[in-house]
Amino acid sequence: MICECGCGRKTNIIKRNDTFSGLVKGTYRRFIVGHSTKGKTNLRPRSKVYTHKYRLIWMPEHPKSNNRGYVREHFLIVEKVLGRNLKDTEVVHHINEIRDDNRKCNLVILERKMHPTIHLRMRAYKATGDPNKRKCSFCKEWDDPENLFIKFRKPVYHNACKVEYNKMLKNRGTF
């Protein structure tokens, strides 16, 4: 098989299946790796809009593009409104938590370190009506923070729950 880019060179046989890119073992490649119809390094034609968890736009020249050349659409919308690129310390938060709802009124810029806190407080508010409640990692009950042991990036728990959990672990080894 001859490379479809027009270089006239012979392509290789595919050695194993790859369902993601649609390659089938034993068939010839359409292009030599690195060749394409437009001289770009892609092996397949790209659509302009791609949706996985977020809506993605193909813009390989953008500084925030991923390794496949796509940029999250909400980044582009916020950057257009701001008139500048987002900083590395900034993230875009969807207020209604629907990832492909990219209306301007649904997007907020947050400092990267504040984003997890916003989601934590939103989960607490939805579950209890109080954004200050925290969930025990062991009994899964929501409670006031003063009744829980809270350490940064560690499980949040009632002291009694931790004692019961440790007893259970100790007894499990005696079977």
Tens of pLDDT along the chain (175 residues)? 787 766 778 888 888 888 777 788 888 887 777 666 554 444 444 556 766 688 888 888 899 888 878 899 999 999 999 999 999 999 999 999 888 899 999 999 999 999 998 998 999 999 999 999 998 888 889 998 888 887 766 778 888 888 888 888 788 765 4
Specify whether 52 is located in the same domain as 38: no
What's the pLDDT at 92?
A: 95
Specify whether 80 is located in the same domain as 97: yes
Domain membership of residue 51 as a residue range: 46-131
Specify whether 56 is located in the same domain as 126: yes
Specify whether 18 is located in the same domain as 67: no
Cα 143–Cα 108–Cα 134 angle in degrees, nearest 5: 5
Specify whether 59 is located in the same domain as 113: yes
What's the pLDDT at 122?
A: 92
Cβ contact 161:139 at 8 Å? yes
Which residues sit opposite 91 in a β-bridge?
Answer: 110
- Whole-structure pTM over 0.75, yes or no? no
Specify whether 61 is located in the same domain as 120: yes
Look at residue 139 and give its three-state secondary structure.
coil
Specify whether 168 is located in the same domain as 118: no
Specify whether 119 is located in the same domain as 73: yes
What's the pLDDT at 125?
A: 94
Give rounded-to-5 percent helix, strand, coil for the chain: 25, 20, 55
Question: Using only C-alpha atoms, what is the Rg of the chain?
Answer: 25
Which residues sit opposite 109 in a β-bridge?
Answer: 92
The domain total for the chain is 3
